Amino acid sequence: MKTTLVGLLLNLLFTLALMGGIFTDYDTDFASSFGTVLLGLWGLSVLGFVLAMAGSRKWGSILVIVGSIVFIPLGIVAMIGARKLREADANDDLEARRKLNSQH
């Protein structure tokens, strides 16, 4: 969870820096337009994080990964965190099945 949150914050900082014109000296219209698209994808990632925290870890992690693809290399941090969330869910399912089988 922490890794995903740190990745989302890094993605937001990159987007805000791009929209502020830090990375472009001449074409600020392109930077703000591209920044708006990045902000929308960041919102998709945040929606996925909220879904993952609400219990739908599979779909939440998928949304975080899809929304973070454009932020590579910074997006890799959020993608790793989303993968850990999904693996934790799979491990919980595995433990539940083991308990169910041991009861029989």
Average pLDDT over residues 34-55: 87
Average pLDDT over residues 88-101: 68
Query: What's the rounded Cα separation, in Å, for the pair 63 and 85?
Result: 12
Task: Give residue 53's identity as a one-letter amino acid code.
Answer: M
Q: How many domains does the chain have?
A: 1
Burial class (CB within 10 angstroms; exposed 0-12, middle 13-18, buried 19+) of 63? buried
Q: Which helix (H) or strand (E) holds 49?
A: helix 28-54
Average pLDDT over residues 84-94: 71
pLDDT at 24: 59
Check if the beta carbon of residue 68 is closer than 8 Å to that of residue 34: no
pLDDT at 27: 63
What percent of the chain is modeled with pLDDT above 70? 77
Query: What's the rounded Cα separation, in Å, for the pair 55 and 38?
Result: 26
Domain extent for 87? 2-103
